[in-house]
Structure 1
Amino acid sequence: IESLNNKYLLSVLLSECKGEDRVIQPTEDVFASEGDTVTLDCTFETTRTSPTLFWYRQKCNDFPRYMLKSYSDNAEKASEFQTDRFNAAINGTSVPLKIQKLQLTDSAVYYCALKPTVTGNTTTLYKNLWREDNTILHNIH
């Protein structure tokens, strides 16, 4: 354990959507040292011509927190991720998350998601069905 004191564990879990759209993340853990740069892979399959992908970070004993979304040639970041240390851009059918100048606080599980995402409370999950103009059609559960 002593040898891991200066190492950081970044876990990436497999995430998959049913139907025509699919997100694939490697299941192995990523180890790196303070100050390093890591890239977390995420590939996707979709029928959408302009997909929107999201990255979330879940620290120990916490819920997943929105980091950023990437679409077309744009990216929007949550306020706590405005720093240049976190970047993601769609490249074909992948949207890798690049984290630079690693810090201990970056240790977490990172999730990639494809719009529409699954949302809801702890007892029932809902898949949001969106029209191209970003209005909800209806929820199913």
Structure 2
Amino acid sequence: HCREVWSKEIRAQDTVTQSTGDVIGYEGGSVTLSCTFTTTSSTNPYLFWYIQRPNDPPKYMLRRDKYSNDTVQEYKKRFNTKLNTSSVPLTIEDVQLCDSAVYYCALKPTKHLLIWNFTRHLCTRFHSPLSLNVCK
């Protein structure tokens, strides 16, 4: 789906790496999704997180860069990340069943050309019986 939504150009010197496999979360607990990056084309890269729930396109969650940040209101309470020198891990607090999704980490160096690196991340799965609820 990402190729249909965004134009994509990958440069060898700009990379985003996400851990493979599933991350297991439990209702009420917390999970951290890893994302590391390298860039030689910018001293102030923009890092983004997107969420893709079943049958939906990826949805913007938040952005971090050296000087500012932005988080969509619905994700401010339980989703948090901090931009480090080469990583931008996403932590989900008070995990809920509706957090089950594929999460994408994206990199855009601060150039006029948008450079997106999308890598399939993970689907949070739950092993305890949970009732279906709606994320607020």
Query: TM-score, normalised on structure 2?
Result: 0.70
Question: Is residue 88–residue 95 contact of structure 1 (8 Å, CA) maintained in 2?
Answer: yes
Structure 1 segments (4+ residues) deviating >6 Å: none
Of 17, 21, 28, which residue of structure 1 is paired with 2:14? 21
Q: Specify the code of the residue in structure 1 equivalent to 2:34.
A: D
- Give aligned-pair identity as a percent: 51
Return the alpha-carbon distance in structure 2 between the equivalents of residues 23 and 101 of structure 1.
Answer: 27
Is 1:62–2:33 an aligned residue pair?
A: no
User: Structure with the greater relative contact order (CA < 8 A, sep ≥ 6): 1 or 2?
Assistant: 2
CA deviation after TM superposition for structure 1 residue 92, in Å: 1.4
Return the alpha-carbon distance in structure 2 between the equivalents of residues 66 and 73 of structure 1.
Answer: 19
- Rg bigger for which structure? 1
Is 1:110–2:103 an aligned residue pair?
A: yes
Return the alpha-carbon distance in structure 2 between the equivalents of residues 109 and 73 of structure 1.
Answer: 28
Task: Give CA-to-partner distance per residue, 1:64-105, whole Å, 9 cap, x none.
Answer: 00000011153211132122x111111110000010000111
Return the alpha-carbon distance in structure 1 between the equivalents of residues 69 and 91 of structure 2.
Answer: 13
Q: Specify the code of the residue in structure 2 equivalent to 1:40.
A: L
- Bigger fraction of residues in strand: 1
Cα RMSD, aligned residues only:
2.1
Q: Give the secondary-structure state (helix, strand or coil) at the position aligned to 2:25.
A: strand
Question: Is residue 53–residue 69 contact of structure 1 (8 Å, CA) maintained in 2?
Answer: yes
- Which residue of 2 is the match for residue 124 of structure 1? none
Is 1:39–2:32 an aligned residue pair?
A: yes
Q: In the superposition, relative to structure 1, how do residues 27 and 17 fare at CA in structure 2: closer, same or farther (>3 Å)?
A: farther
Is 1:92–2:85 an aligned residue pair?
A: yes
- Which residue of 2 is the match for residue 9 of structure 1? none
- Structure 1 gaps, min length 5: 1-15, 117-128
Question: Is residue 89–residue 95 contact of structure 1 (8 Å, CA) maintained in 2?
Answer: yes
